[in-house]
Structures are given as structure tokens and as C-alpha cells.
Structure 1
Amino acid sequence: MSLLRSLPLGKRVISHFSPASIRTFERRTMATAQTEQPDGLKLGVAHSNLLASTPDLGLSNQELAGMGLQTEETRRLNMCQAVNDAIGTVLAADDSAVVFGEDVAFGGVFRCTLGLAESYGKERVFNTPLTEQGIAGFGIGMAAMGHTAIAEIQFADYIFPAFDQLVNEAAKYRYRSGGQFHCGGLTVRTPCSAVGHGGHYHSQSPEGYLAHTPGLKIVTPRSPLQAKGLLLAAIRDRNPTIFLEPKVLYRGAVEHVPIPDYELPLGKAEILKPGKDITVVGWGSQIYALENAIQLAEKRLGGVSCELIDLRTILPWDVETVCNSVKKTGRLVIAHEAPMTGGFGAEIAATVQERCFLHLESPIQRITGWDTPFPLVFEKVYIPGVIRCFDGIKRVMEY
């Protein structure tokens, strides 16, 4: 049965579709998602210009300037290895640090903690029962007693059973005690977003739910270099932090990562590509679809200049960088994998409309997942790929 006819979509999604146009839409979108290489572009993270493909690029990152890393060495790591490197760095330097979750002692489902139990002992890297609420509650207790608690929820889809502990306890612990107590040493890592074969229980992006909770920080990296620096900063930040790791990038994103300890700033977006005509905002694995969409737009739309921003921290998000960019360009496109309704893109759009209204040249455009459960067979239709992102840029520019 057709995806669009078998699910309870809102009128906003399908009001203009007839049965015949639905079938045509599905055929064309599936074909485009699977086979089209528009204008000869090399699509995807493997061909990205945003990754540090050489040691020099890995050490020349502007945010690393002043850390004395210019003469250091790098290692070529994928994102899984970079996460492992960051956790190992913390365990080596902080005797109070512990790592726990389902199956983490032998590496976890994605092997991000591989070898850590052997290196640092099973008292510091250990398995838990299969109970997400228990993992979060145990982490709160460890952090409240002064430990650096690094918890893993095996998939972000299963963070929902832990919501009571994270939303009602971790996020409010400092507030409700008047600052006498806190669990700021808690970091919860979890793999998120589409992976190509995850279906509706292993592909979700829950940042919108989490971002509604004052007291938490929410971070998501786009690459190995970013993952190491942001994770080290998240673990050492004195606020409970949720670290969302796009699982498709674990082995898909590879770059040269500095060997020494370093941190990247939380709450600060990064301008990956300057531009003057339109601001394009995303995070995590969506950055690479946007990179390709921008390449296509700058070829097809007569010299349009796009500014690409990686938000990196969802909460607190970098309002200043995004709004300053929109005031310059007058246009904004936001893309994320989560459904449109209540997605974090809505918060960005509302804030930009409020602060930049007189600068806007066109309505803000959101390119997102559909308002349906995440489909297995139709994953490539569901996620906002290069063609849908390009179409969004084109609509905004031609308004």
C-alpha cells in the first residue's frame, strides 16, 4: 500500500495530492533519491569538502587556533573512533569518570566504547540492565555524588523511557535545590537519526522533544573532529548534556583529528561556508545534504551565494550567529530529519521572524521529515535529501 495513502497525514501534507499524483510523486522521488546525480555532483559525506582530509586541514581549524595544536600530529579517524578517543581521554585524565550502558563493556552496538573496559577496568566501564530509566537515574546519582557519569542509551529512539529521569530530575536538580546540589557531571550519549535500514524504532531524531526542557544541553556533531572536541566539552560542562550522535556518520565520516586533548565551544554555531544571498541552517548528518544542495543551487540559480551554518548545539542554540546571517542575506532555509510539526526548525523560524522581520525578503522555508512514523521502505523519500533541499532554496530565492 502507498506510504502517503496508508498513514494519517495532515491536510498540510497531502491536500493537493490526487491518487495518481501520489503514485507519480512516489515513483519520481524514489528514483531521484536512489539514482540521480544532479549536474555531475558527487553526493554524500564521502565526497564532502567540509571534512579535514589532510593533517594540515585538521590542525588549521579556526576554533583550534590558540590551543597550540599547530605543531601536533593527527590521526585519521571515523566518527566512532573519535567518540572512543574522547571518552578514553576523559577516563585517562579523570579518575572519577565512569562509562555505562547496555553492552558498552564490549563496545556497544556501534563499537564506540571498544577496548575501554580492557584499558580502564570493568569497574569504570560496565554494562547495565536493559532499562533506560534506570541508566539515566543511575547516572544522575553518580553525577550528584561527584562522579563524571558518561551514560549510553543504545538508540535515541529508546531515550523516551528515560524522559522522566532526564526531564523531571536531571534538568531540574540544581533549580529545585536552590543551587545546593546538581548533576552537572552527567552526559548521555545516544546514536540518532537515519541509518539506511533502521525503520521507525531505530531512526528517530528526538532533539525537538529534548529542547523543550530548560536545564539540559543538547549537542550533535557532524564529523569526527567535531565529535571529539564537542564531546570533551560536553562531558566537562557542569550541566547535564545529551549528546546526539548521527549513526550514519559513525563510519561514513572520516577525517584527520588532532591527537591531543581539545574542546570545541558549546552553544556556538559554525559558519561552514560564507554567502550573501541566503542562509541555510542544519545540524548533524543533514549538513552533507545541504552542502550538495548548495552546490546544485550555485550552479543552477545564476550565481546565488549561500551561507551554510552548522548549529551544532541545539540547546542553547546560537541565536546571534543565525540572526546576524539572516540580517545579511534576507532569506533562511532550515533543514532537519525530524518531522516538521514541533521540530526544532520551528523554534529557529519563530525567533528569526521575531528578530529579523524587517530584513526578510521571503518566507522562511523548512525542509524536514514528513509528519509520519519513520518508514523503512520509504526512508529515502522521508529524509530531506539534496533534491528537496535544493527545491527549498530555489523557492526562497524565486519568491
Structure 2
Amino acid sequence: MVNTETIPGACTLSREEKVGLLRTIYASRRIDDREITGKRQNKVYFQINGAGHEAFQAAAALCFRPGQDWFFLYYRDRALAHALGVSARDMFLGSVGSGLDPATGGRMMPGHWSDDRLNIFSTSSPTGTQFLQAVGAAEAILRAEREGLSARLGMTEGEVVLVTTGDGTVSEGEFWEAVNNAVNLKAPVVFLVEDNGYAISVPTEVQYPGANVAALLKGWEPHGLLVLDDVDGCDPVASHEAVQKAVAHARARRGPALVRGRVVRPYSHSLSDDEQLYKTPAQRAEEARRDPIVTWPARLLEAGDLTPSEWETLRAEVDQEVDAAWQEAEQAPPPESGSSFRHLYSETVDPTGPAFDTEDRTPDQTNAAKTMLDLINATLKQEMAENPLILAFGEDVADASRPEILEVVKGKGGVFKATHGLQRQFGENRVFNSPLAEATIVGRAIGLAARGFKPVVEIQFFDYIWPAMQQIRDELANIRWRSDNHFKAPVVLRVPIGGYLMGGAVYHSQCGESTFTHIPGLRVVYPSRAVDAAGLLRTAIRCDDPVLFLEPKHLYRQTHNKGNDPGPGYMIPFGKARLAREGTDLSVITYGSTVHRAVQAARQAEAEGLSVEILDLRTLSPYDWEAVARTVRKTRRVLVAHEDTLQWGYGAELAARIADELFFELDAPVKRLAAKDTWVAYHPSLEDEILPQPSDFLEAYRALARI
């Protein structure tokens, strides 16, 4: 059980601090009101307010160190962001969507706080995604301290992380994953729950039992979680005392803390909402009675901390500042035309460029040929030896979660053994197991990457990547873009993919790469040979963008794609295809496990007098359009093939572009070959029917040649 008696409380607030709190509360409300007016004037395109939450937030801000501690906020945190240092001008630049908006460059709705100078990490709209990222950022503090990397990563002594949320968002599964991880790690993170009783129109009692998330978490206290419940979030003094205790707990490295403050929401959820439709007049009157914009100045006046003339002067000063900031923002220019294409990817590290192309170097032929799995393992070891910031984790990734037993066991190192031996070589602080929770793996990786580490994580099977989809699509891929290049998360996601397993069935055989190649900002890699896997993995690790590294598990231990270890300097640039086989009569464009099947069929076709050229794309986003165009112009007949289902598959985009841009180079329609539009079955005979086989390729070659 956590002993709160030994935790320092809040310092007594000075008169200046109390008046400063009032200034923040009043300024935040005036900024909200000015934005609401701007929305009604059609000068602001969206508005969501922080009214009623200001006292809790302003008091909390006094407990943290902007620019040293880190902050993962949510859209109601106007007063908190303002107290930390985000000016009214900067907020208004966001509300009008100006290109001068320092948070997002006009790319995000207002209320999505972001400031790299203050360590306010880029806020997004999906509720709850910030929790795991905050835990990852706090985890980074601990891992840096253990490895002596704090100075290298620009960390200061005693750093903590704050993550905030409304009461409704703690219904999200990622909240519970985050608390679970924070407690297990003893991460120095403070969860601030701003409980206004409603998630838009849904009351808290519909969200979870008892309408009090803090009460549900009391059972976690013996494991290091400090829970401070039923704090009057409309009272800055009570709020400050509670948050100060939580921060002291985290700074002392005793573990995470959670503070639940009861606040009000006297305005509707947003200007798209009308609370009169679901709140009674009595409820609204009670919220108005507790509103800190009314209660706090009254308390200061009554206590003699503020005179009526001082209060009048304060209001006039803030009004003047807010009005001047609005006038400046009104005149600010919109984003430049075409600027939406900036910062999709790193503009300083180009993984498609010549610096990443060492493929032509002569490989060391003295070492024995190795499988794809062996070379992935070797590459991870080589890169981790060179870069102490690389972390490898996921489900079953470590050799053993209890390192002491490695003296008597061989160790796991991944279900396919891709990470075997990494923990023995680099230690449990750099190679470790995660809970069985895919969103946890990606969310924590984002937070770790934001703090300067290089996470190379594993999702055990592509079939189970979907719980992490929101963290991948709505977070990982767009952090650089949405923050206007102020933040980044260059995570590598290693994911075994595909079938041809003889018994893999529905949940261990699926593809679906086109879902991810559709995401701007995400690099997608799909090798077919051992040596390509090594070169592309090294590029993925050394580049500065998030990468989905898809590993065809059918090819892990095949002998036909073995290769010599090319060594620690070997890289293949993204967007560079490989000519797997030269030919003159028709071209096959493919990747992954279907490359070898295409080659097998081409050998049979050659006996029939048909010369087939095969292009292995190797990377799917970006892909090598020049190589595609070259082979199409050469043979004038083309087959696009892949292991995934035919409809809506990756090949459809290639076929469409070839038909669009190379129509007059073709002597026949573009054809496609892919899996049947059904699930992969368990019995090998059915799997063979469903997935493309060499015989299917051969028949496709014959049919295309006849046209």
C-alpha cells in the first residue's frame, strides 16, 4: 500500500501564485470565448473549449517544469497549455488555421496542443492514444538512467511525464493497458483525470461501474500506483496539493500516480453540441455555481488576496492581451499552397537515396550461406552493437523475462527465433518482453522514439496487428506531418506475414499489406531473399521514418533464398526493385513469397519457348516505378502478382497506374494473379487452392502470351 504520509504535500501557495492562477483561469476562458466568437464569424472552423477545467489545470501546471518534464495532453487542456507557456497568439494562430501556427502549421484542429520547446507532445483527436505514448516516454527516462544515456538524450534529472484525460476516455482499453504498463515498469508518469461527468452526452456512470475510475484503481496501490481521488478540481488549492503529491511520488521513482479531479463543463462539449438537450436546468445551474471563473476570484477577494481594483486591472490587462493576439491572428496568412506535402517523411535522412545504396559491394563469400531468419538476427545484433539507442521488444522477444534462468535454459528469442540471443548479448534493459497487447507495443514505442530511442519492435503475427491499428495509422504515421516536423517517431515494426505454411489457417496466414501502403508517412518493406532482408532491415533501422518491415514467415528457413551475410555496412535503399530474372516475352511484377513461385513457373515456361522477366519490388511504399516502367516497355506484356487476395489488393494500384501511364507501351491488357477472395484454410489442399501456386503462374503466362 502506498503511504501518502511520506509524500511531500503542496507548498503553501503565495499570494502571487494565487493571483497567477486567476490570471491563467481568466485568460483561458477569454481565449475560449474569443474563439467561439470567431467561429460564429466564420473565421474559426472548429472550436472545442476547456471551460470549467481551468482551475485543475492551472494548479497542475505549477507542479511541473516546462521544457524539462514531458506532457501528453488532450483537447480540453487550454489552461494547462497556456500556463506551461503556449501564448494566446499561438492558440489563435491554430484556431484560424494559419500557416504560422507553431503547433501544426494549420494542419490540425485547434485545441491540439503541441510545442517542442515546452515538451508538449503533439496532441491528436483519437481519445486515449496518448496514454501508452506517455508511458513510453516515461519508460525512456528509466531506461536512459539505467544505461547512462540521459545526457546523450538531453534528459534532465528527475524528469516526469504528465498525461491528461477526460472521464469518458478512461473507458478506452488503451487506458487500462497504459496503467498496467506504468505500474509494471514503475514509470514516472502522472495520470490526470479531469472528470466533468460527461463524455459529450454520455454520463460517467454509463462508462464504467461506480462512475469513478480512481475507485476502481485502488486495488493497484500495493503495486506502486498512487491514487488520489475525489479532488475538487474547481478548487486550485486542493488541486495543487493533490497534483504536487502525485508529482513528488513520480519524481522519487516510486511509480506512477493518478489524480481524479471533479471539474465542471459549463459550456457544451463543442459548438457542434448543445448540452441543453441532455442536461437539466438544475444540473447546469449547479455547474455554473461551481465554475472556477466565478468561485476563485470571489475567494481571493474575500480572503484579501485581491482587491476589486486589482481584479478589474487584471481583467483589463488580459482582455487587452487576448484582443491584441486575436487581431494579429486574424491577419496571419493561411498555409502555402502545396505545403500539405511537406514533412510526410524525413527531409534530412532519405532512405531512397544513394547513401543507403551499398548493394553493389561484393559480399563476404567466406561465411556460410544463411537463411532469412539467420540474417535478420545477425543484422539486429550488428545494429544493436553499433547503436546503444536501439531497443528490441514485443511478445516473447526476450530470451527470458527472468534473466537469472538463462544459466539453465536456452532462451526463447521470439516464436520464430528472430531475436534469439539478443538479450544475452545486450541485456534486459535493451531487449525485453511486452505484455500480450499490440497497441501497447506500438504506443510505448512511439513514446520511446519521441524521447530519442530507436525501438525495433515485433508484432508476433500480422494477423494480430489490428489492435495496434489506431496507434499505427492515426499516430505513428502522421506525427511528423501533423506536428509540422517538430516531433517524430521513427519506429521499426517487424511483422511476420503470409501463408504457405501447411496448417497456418485463418489466423496465422493472412496478408493485407495494401491496408498499410495506403497510409501516408509509413514506409512498407516486403523482402523475398535473405540478403535483401538484411540490407533492407539495416536501412529501416538507420532511416528516420516509421517502417513496417514485413517478413514472409514461409521464407524464414527456406534454402532457395539463402545468402551470405553481407556485413554491417550493407544497405539496400527503399524504392529499388531487383530484377530476379531476365526475359523478353512478358514481365511479372511481384514480391515476397510469390517471387520464387513466379521463378519456378518461368523455368517451365522457358521449356515451352516463353521468356519471362520477373521484377521483385522488395519495398512497397515507396516502390520502384522506374523499374516497373522499364520492364513494361521491354516486354509489352505484364502480370502483377501477389499472395494477398485479388480484390482491392496491392496489385490493383500497379495495374491501374501501368494502364494509365504506359497504355501505349502495352500489347495486351495488364493481368493480375493473386489469392482467391476468401480466407486461408487449414488443410494444405485447400490452402494450395487458395494461394497462388507455380501452376497458376504458368497458366497465367500462357494466357497472357496468347493475347
Contact 2:358 2:569 in 1 (8 A): no
Corresponding residue of 2:565: 257
1:380 is the counterpart of 2:673: no
- Label 1:129 to 1:352 Cα distance change in 2 as closer, same or farther (>3 A): same
For 1:215 and 1:108, locate their aligned partners in 2 and report how far apart those are by CA, in whole Å.
Answer: 28
1:395 is the counterpart of 2:700: no
1:283 to 581, 591, 602: 591
Q: Which has the larger radius of gyration?
A: 2
Contact 1:73 1:259 in 2 (8 A): no
Deviations, residues 44-90 of structure 1 (Å, cap 9, x unaligned): xxxxxxxxxxxxxxxxxx9633x4x4667433211111110111111
- The one-letter code sitting in structure 2 at the alignment partner of 1:83 is I
For 1:326 and 1:365, locate their aligned partners in 2 and report how far apart those are by CA, in whole Å.
Answer: 12
- The one-letter code sitting in structure 1 at the alignment partner of 2:496 is P
Matches for 1:89-100 after TM superposition, within 5 Å: 89-100=382-393
1:343 is the counterpart of 2:638: no
How far residue 111 of structure 1 moved from its aligned partner, in angstroms, is 0.6
Corresponding residue of 1:369: 675
1:189 to 487, 491, 494: 494
> Number of matched residues?
333
- The one-letter code sitting in structure 2 at the alignment partner of 1:190 is V
How far residue 359 of structure 1 moved from its aligned partner, in angstroms, is 1.2
Contact 2:365 2:564 in 1 (8 A): no
For 2:498 and 2:364, locate their aligned partners in 1 and report how far apart those are by CA, in whole Å.
Answer: 36
How far residue 363 of structure 1 moved from its aligned partner, in angstroms, is 1.3
Deviations, residues 351-399 of structure 1 (Å, cap 9, x unaligned): 1111110111111111101111111121111110001111111111101
For 2:388 and 2:543, locate their aligned partners in 1 and report how far apart those are by CA, in whole Å.
Answer: 17
SS, match of residue 308 in structure 1: strand
SS, match of residue 251 in structure 1: coil
For 1:100 and 1:63, locate their aligned partners in 2 and report how far apart those are by CA, in whole Å.
Answer: 28
Corresponding residue of 2:467: 161
Corresponding residue of 1:78: 371
Contact 2:398 2:422 in 1 (8 A): yes
For 2:515 and 2:570, locate their aligned partners in 1 and report how far apart those are by CA, in whole Å.
Answer: 30
Matches for 1:221-260 after TM superposition, within 5 Å: 221-253=527-559, 254-260=562-568
Q: What TM-score does the superposition give when structure 1 sets the normalisation length?
A: 0.81
Structure 1 alignment gaps of length 5 or more: 1-61
1:64 is the counterpart of 2:359: yes
Q: Which has the higher contact order (CA 8 A, sep 6+)?
A: 1
SS, match of residue 76 in structure 1: coil
Q: What TM-score does the superposition give when structure 2 sets the normalisation length?
A: 0.46
For 1:117 and 1:110, locate their aligned partners in 2 and report how far apart those are by CA, in whole Å.
Answer: 15
1:332 is the counterpart of 2:611: no
Contact 1:80 1:112 in 2 (8 A): yes
For 1:298 and 1:285, locate their aligned partners in 2 and report how far apart those are by CA, in whole Å.
Answer: 21
For 1:63 and 1:262, locate their aligned partners in 2 and report how far apart those are by CA, in whole Å.
Answer: 6
Deviations, residues 273-300 of structure 1 (Å, cap 9, x unaligned): 2222211111111111000111111112
- The one-letter code sitting in structure 2 at the alignment partner of 1:104 is V
Corresponding residue of 2:422: 116
How far residue 196 of structure 1 moved from its aligned partner, in angstroms, is 2.1
**What's the C-alpha RMSD, in Å, of the aligned pairs?**
1.4
1:298 is the counterpart of 2:590: no
Contact 1:74 1:259 in 2 (8 A): no
Contact 1:89 1:261 in 2 (8 A): no
SS, match of residue 564 in structure 2: strand
State, as a whole percentage, how many aligned pairs show the same letter: 37
Structure 2 alignment gaps of length 5 or more: 1-356, 400-412
How far residue 325 of structure 1 moved from its aligned partner, in angstroms, is 1.0
For 1:95 and 1:73, locate their aligned partners in 2 and report how far apart those are by CA, in whole Å.
Answer: 29
- Label 1:146 to 1:63 Cα distance change in 2 as closer, same or farther (>3 A): closer
Q: As a proportion of its length, which structure holds more strand?
A: 1
For 2:680 and 2:601, locate their aligned partners in 1 and report how far apart those are by CA, in whole Å.
Answer: 23
For 1:233 and 1:259, locate their aligned partners in 2 and report how far apart those are by CA, in whole Å.
Answer: 13
Matches for 1:162-181 after TM superposition, within 5 Å: 162-181=468-487
- The one-letter code sitting in structure 1 at the alignment partner of 2:615 is I
SS, match of residue 242 in structure 1: strand
Corresponding residue of 2:515: 209
For 1:147 and 1:206, locate their aligned partners in 2 and report how far apart those are by CA, in whole Å.
Answer: 29
SS, match of residue 362 in structure 1: coil
Contact 1:282 1:310 in 2 (8 A): yes
SS, match of residue 252 in structure 1: coil
